[in-house]
A and B are shown apart, each in its own frame.
Chain A
Amino acid sequence: MDLSFWLPLFFAGAMGLALLIYVLLDGYDLGIGMLLPFASEEEKDLMIGSIGPFWDANETWIVLGVGILLIAFPQAHGIVLTALYLPVTIMLMGLILRGVAFDFRVKAGDARKGMWNALFAAGSLIASAAQGWMLGAYITGLSDDTTGLLFSALIAVTLPALYVLLGSAWLLIKTDGALFEKAIRWGRNALLPMGLCLLLVSVATPLVSSVIADKWFTLPNAIGLLPIPLITATAYAGLVWLFNSPVILRSGYGWLIFAALTVICVMASIGLGYSLFPEIIIGRLDLWEAAAATESLLFIFWGTVITLPAILGYTFFIYRVFRGKATALSYD
């Protein structure tokens, strides 16, 4: 077996998985952050209580994703992060504000709670929009022409809708009563912009690169790939239907929304991965050109194989410990 061929492939998969998990998990944290201004004071505590035990570990998945980019593909890491310098910086500031507001809002005294709630929401929005911008710029090959910038801007305003939906979906699992009803409304409002985001991301890569277009639209590949758009469309239709049939959601099936969103995100990742492969930066660098030395990859490969299942195991355990509906915070 040729390690110099397989190891970069393994790490590309691991990076994709880490970023997918990040989007799903921190996506609901960020979504709840953006929804915060629309909730009453008591609901705010409840919403933050519902993500309190998880957010820190959720955020760690982006560190792993970027970490793998750095470890396994140092050439690409330098190019991507240099090209995305400004959106990365803005995202980091958003994540900083969001992360510290978690603690400050309950520890800095009641007089400042309003300010920290506002910063929590602002940080979540800034980070989400910046991530949208980064995604847009990345899938258009990091070009800085007008079309590229316009596209990045479009993703920047629509990706937050996905996070809002994830946030609503999380509330449908963790809450009941008035907040549950609000979450249904919030989620329904986010459906359309989220669909637009999905559509844009799907059509972008074939438009940017004729090679990618050929991969999708020539026979017989096109038939084999058909399940990806079909499943995505079905899941989206399912979301629309569920949001318009709240009686189902109320009778204990709130988790279906999160499940459908997970299906959509998984499909989008597979589609994106298929489009890009074997390139890591469209039109510039492929996986193997960008990869670190094989002996370095092998060293971290063993660490990943041992620790990643353990991480998934105790993440599952933590979610089990904190299962059930959330209640309001009662800091002493």
Chain B
Amino acid sequence: MELDPFMLARMQFAANISFHILFPTITIGLCWILLYFRVRFTLSGDKAWEYAYSFWVKIFALSFALGVVSGITMSFQFGTNWPGFMERAGNIAGPLLGYEVLTAFFLEASFLGIMLFGKERVSNRLHLIATALVAIGTTFSAFWILSLNSWMQTPAGYRIEDGVFFVESWWQVIFNPSFPYRFFHMLNASLLTAAFLIMGISAWRALKQVDGPATWRVMRTGAAMAAVLAPLQIWIGDLHGLNTLEHQPAKVAAMEGIWETEKGAPLTLFGFPDEEAKTTHFAIKVPKLASLILTHEWDGEVKGLNEFEGATPPVAPVFWAFRVMVGIGVLMLLVGWWATFTLFRQPLESRIEHPWLMRALSAMTFSGWIAVLAGWYVTEIGRQPWIVSGLLRTSEVVADHASATLMGTLLGYVGLYAFLLVSYIAALRYLATKPARSLSLLPQAQRFHKPDQEGV
């Protein structure tokens, strides 16, 4: 791998987008969970739910801020790093991004103010509505950006004139073949990530003996979510895989390490793919299983990488990332069921002494991040060498900056992101270690303003 400007531009974009996705992944899921806490409090008047809200809304706000600033960076990097993409596909990408700004960014950014600082200025109902609007905003945002990403994977509804894309049907562009799968796979991933985050931090509080009644309610919420969503995610993932096989067979061949087209292809569980030798060293294979999973027939034909000469993605990263994602998914399923089985057998008000479960859960706090990153590496690296599958190569749209410029800014970004990631985790640790207050000392809303009248 040479560090030419093309590779550096890709690394820079990858660094930024990898850092960015960590935070929306948390906020999309966490905001719906916050809404749930708010609804539970409103219906029951149980202050533990109110406390859960005020604890988690702080982590939400911090995550949201990191997502916003790294997202703004991305909106500029489309132009600074890939000007050719906007010049060629701008007629399609532009409006989709525009709708994201108009329907999602303003909505979430504006009502976030009320969500965080408005508790004393607005009625409980309006505060609940503000929380719901932010949750809807984050989900709209995912809708539009995943629609664009899916269009780049499985383009539809376009025509090309002189190398420039034009829209034939917006419906087909937005609801392109891979979009529904990717959208639900990502939403579910986000909910799972948030579920393990809230369980992990709650378990850590239990281990540090700083837990309160809210801690256990939150942990149960996460456990119930994980128990249901983890198997659901495996099912959606399988459907998504079948869709990829239909539209992007080269990606699936790289995921499975299938070098030559064959009938009754074995499933490689583990091994070391070698692109030079076009083989997987020390492969552990299960006969015919790849064919069964991918075609639902023992002797189904699976296309190998040999069919896509000159347009294959790098095999090893896709192959490995896929195994990491699936591995964590299975682990989430097991831990989710274990937690549910353990927690729900106990009465609600009791502390649960189960150090091994608590250790496992706190070790899994950021497991969603790793699975989500691995999943995105599968789908994005698996799309290469194309920026729009089969139609436009990434190398055709890159900007011609000097290597030194790109290297300098890349180091700047990576340094900054590493610093922010460390600060983020340190801040979470700091917040998580603060002792829970007893319910009678329930915190007042964070006061920023002197209310000049009752409610609004």
Do the beta carbons of A63 and B72 come within 8 Å of each other? yes
Do the beta carbons of B58 and A96 come within 8 Å of each other? no
> Does A221 interact with chain B (Cβ within 8 Å)?
no
Name the one of A63, A107, A296, A300 contacting B427, with C-beta atoms under 8 angstroms: A107
Identify the closest chain A residue to B441 (Cβ): A332
Identify the closest chain B residue to A72 (Cβ): B94
CA distance A29 to B105 in the complex (A): 18
> Does B172 interact with chain A (Cβ within 8 Å)?
no
Do the beta carbons of B76 and A107 come within 8 Å of each other? no
> Does A38 interact with chain B (Cβ within 8 Å)?
no
> What chain B residues lie within 8 Å of A325 (beta carbons)?
449-450
> Does B166 interact with chain A (Cβ within 8 Å)?
yes
Do the beta carbons of B443 and A332 come within 8 Å of each other? yes
Near B by CB (< 8 A), chain A positions 39-83 give 49, 52-54, 56-57, 59-60, 62-64, 66-68, 70-72, 74-75, 77-82
> Does A99 interact with chain B (Cβ within 8 Å)?
yes
Do the beta carbons of B447 and A327 come within 8 Å of each other? yes
Do the beta carbons of B70 and A49 come within 8 Å of each other? no
CA distance A54 to B449 in the complex (A): 12
**Which listed segment binds A: B107-115, B241-249, B254-262?**
B107-115
> Does B41 interact with chain A (Cβ within 8 Å)?
no
Per-residue CB proximity of A302-332 to B under 8 Å, as 1/0? 0110011001001100101111111101111
Name the one of B68, B112, B170 contacting A99, with C-beta atoms under 8 angstroms: B68
CB distance from B448 to the nearest CB of A (A): 5
**Which listed segment binds A: B96-104, B202-210, B269-277, B288-296?**
B96-104
Do the beta carbons of A311 and B83 come within 8 Å of each other? no
Do the beta carbons of A332 and B99 come within 8 Å of each other? no
Do the beta carbons of A322 and B449 come within 8 Å of each other? yes
CA distance A57 to B313 in the complex (A): 40
Name the one of B114, B416, B427 contacting A318, with C-beta atoms under 8 angstroms: B114
Do the beta carbons of B430 and A107 come within 8 Å of each other? yes
> Does B338 interact with chain A (Cβ within 8 Å)?
no
Do the beta carbons of A300 and B447 come within 8 Å of each other? no
Do the beta carbons of B80 and A327 come within 8 Å of each other? no
CA distance A54 to B113 in the complex (A): 6
CA distance A167 to B420 in the complex (A): 27
CB distance from B124 to the nearest CB of A (A): 14
Task: Given A60-B109, A67-B97, check contact A77 B86 (CB 8 Å).
Answer: yes
CA distance A320 to B113 in the complex (A): 12
CA distance A235 to B110 in the complex (A): 31
Interface residues on chain B, number (Cβ under 8 Å): 74
Do the beta carbons of B86 and A70 come within 8 Å of each other? yes
Do the beta carbons of B65 and A52 come within 8 Å of each other? no
| Most-contacted residue by chain B among A99, A311, A321 (CB, 10 A) | A321
Name the one of B121, B412, B427 contacting A321, with C-beta atoms under 8 angstroms: B121
CB distance from A96 to the nearest CB of B (A): 4
Do the beta carbons of B170 and A327 come within 8 Å of each other? no
> What chain A residues lie within 8 Å of B264 (beta carbons)?
none
| Most-contacted residue by chain A among B64, B65, B112 (CB, 10 A) | B65
Do the beta carbons of B116 and A78 come within 8 Å of each other? no
Task: Given A82-B83, A322-B113, check contact A303 B102 (CB 8 Å).
Answer: yes
Near A by CB (< 8 A), chain B positions 417-448 give 420, 423, 426-427, 430-431, 437, 443-444, 446-448
The binding surface of chain B is classed by DSSP as helix
Task: Given A53-B118, A96-B69, A104-B423, check contact A74 B75 (CB 8 Å).
Answer: no
CA distance A74 to B87 in the complex (A): 5
Do the beta carbons of A99 and B426 come within 8 Å of each other? no
> Does A241 interact with chain B (Cβ within 8 Å)?
no
CA distance A314 to B106 in the complex (A): 9
Name the one of B80, B91, B109, B449 contacting A85, with C-beta atoms under 8 angstroms: B80
Task: Given A54-B113, A66-B76, A293-B167, check contact A77 B90 (CB 8 Å).
Answer: yes
> Does B399 interact with chain A (Cβ within 8 Å)?
yes
Do the beta carbons of B86 and A85 come within 8 Å of each other? no
Do the beta carbons of A63 and B101 come within 8 Å of each other? yes
> Does B117 interact with chain A (Cβ within 8 Å)?
yes
> Does B311 interact with chain A (Cβ within 8 Å)?
no
Name the one of A77, A80, A332 contacting B446, with C-beta atoms under 8 angstroms: A332
Do the beta carbons of A307 and B76 come within 8 Å of each other? no
Do the beta carbons of A300 and B166 come within 8 Å of each other? no
Name the one of A49, A63, A93, A323 contacting B105, with C-beta atoms under 8 angstroms: A63
Do the beta carbons of B73 and A318 come within 8 Å of each other? no
Do the beta carbons of A71 and B90 come within 8 Å of each other? yes
CA distance A95 to B378 in the complex (A): 31
> Does A109 interact with chain B (Cβ within 8 Å)?
yes
Task: Given A89-B412, A95-B69, check contact A59 B109 (CB 8 Å).
Answer: yes
CA distance A330 to B446 in the complex (A): 6
> Does A88 interact with chain B (Cβ within 8 Å)?
yes
Do the beta carbons of B427 and A320 come within 8 Å of each other? no
CB distance from A40 to the nearest CB of B (A): 18
> Does A102 interact with chain B (Cβ within 8 Å)?
yes
Task: Given A85-B405, A95-B69, check contact A296 B80 (CB 8 Å).
Answer: no
Do the beta carbons of A60 and B448 come within 8 Å of each other? no
Do the beta carbons of A108 and B83 come within 8 Å of each other? no
> Does A214 interact with chain B (Cβ within 8 Å)?
no
> What chain A residues lie within 8 Å of B170 (beta carbons)?
299
Identify the closest chain B residue to A295 (Cβ): B167
CB distance from B50 to the nearest CB of A (A): 13
* Contacts beyond the supplied A108-B427, A325-B449: 19 A-B pairs with Cβ under 8 Å: A49-B448, A53-B117, A66-B79, A68-B98, A71-B95, A74-B87, A74-B91, A88-B76, A92-B73, A93-B412, A96-B69, A96-B70, A292-B91, A295-B166, A296-B90, A303-B103, A321-B113, A321-B122, A326-B448
Q: What are 12 residue pairs bridging A and B, where the CB atoms are less than 8 Å apart in the complex?
A: A70-B86, A80-B79, A96-B70, A100-B423, A102-B65, A103-B62, A104-B427, A300-B94, A311-B106, A314-B110, A321-B456, A329-B447
Top-4 shortest CB links A-B? A74-B90, A78-B83, A81-B79, A53-B113
Q: Which residues of A contact B (CB under 8 A)?
A: 49, 52-54, 56-57, 59-60, 62-64, 66-68, 70-72, 74-75, 77-82, 84-86, 88-89, 92-93, 95-97, 99-100, 102-104, 107-109, 292-293, 295-296, 299-300, 303-304, 307-308, 311, 314-315, 318, 320-327, 329-332
